[in-house]
Amino acid sequence: MTEKEKCAAGILYNANHDKELIRERIFCKDLCQEYNEIKNSDAERRNEVIRKILGSVKANICIEPAFWCDYGYNIEVGENFYANHNLVILDCAKVKFGDNVFIGPNCSFYTAGHPLDVRQRNEGLEYAHPITVGDNVWFGGNVVVLPGITIGDNAVIGAGSVVTKDIPANTVSVGNPCKVVREIVTEN
């Protein structure tokens, strides 16, 4: 199995010495740097470059610079997506955002994690587990989402939260670690 195949399977792999993964990260980071340097007034060029970075993109997407990711092709973005400044997505595994997702500034989504065993960690081994975000989700500023998390439709994640466990649909969740504080009830 290649290191890329191990990564896709969610098992320990080494991204530090694998030429294919290194080449893909450099290619993506060069595109991210290009994107971040495009003038805000050149919306057409920004739209063109972000679509080269991301794996799947629907219409009406806006990611304010600076934006960084590892590979790009593992990121799927739904319709009507907005991310404020300083979005970081470590997309060693899939990161899927539904429709109408709004992300505050300085948010991070990490699919990559490292083993607790010091020898494995020192060898450069890591794992990657996907992140899935449903429709109509709102993230306050400075939120961190850890590997393997699923966030349900219509959820609100409060500013400064560190999401370490799945978040159910129709809830407001806050804190470190992030916990549900109430359900969202829609009045008719």
Domain covering 3-143 assigned CATH 3.40.605.10 in the classification: no
pLDDT at position 188: 61
Active-site residues, by number, are 114
pTM above 0.85, yes or no: yes
DSSP sequence for 90-127:
E-SS-EEE-SS-EE-TT-EEE-EE--SSHHHHHTTEEE
37 pLDDT higher than 80:
yes
- What is the mean predicted confidence (pLDDT) over 108-131? 96
pLDDT at position 185: 85
User: Per-domain residue ranges for the chain?
Assistant: 3-143
93 pLDDT higher than 70:
yes
- Residue 143 and residue 156 in contact, taking contact as beta carbons nearer than 8 Å: no
Closest alpha carbon to 21 in 120, 144, 128, 95:
128
What is the torsion angle, in degrees rounded to the nearest 10, for the CA atoms of residue 157, residue 69, residue 84 and residue 145?
10
**Percent of the chain at pLDDT exceeding 70:** 99
Residue identified by tokens 């470059």 is 49
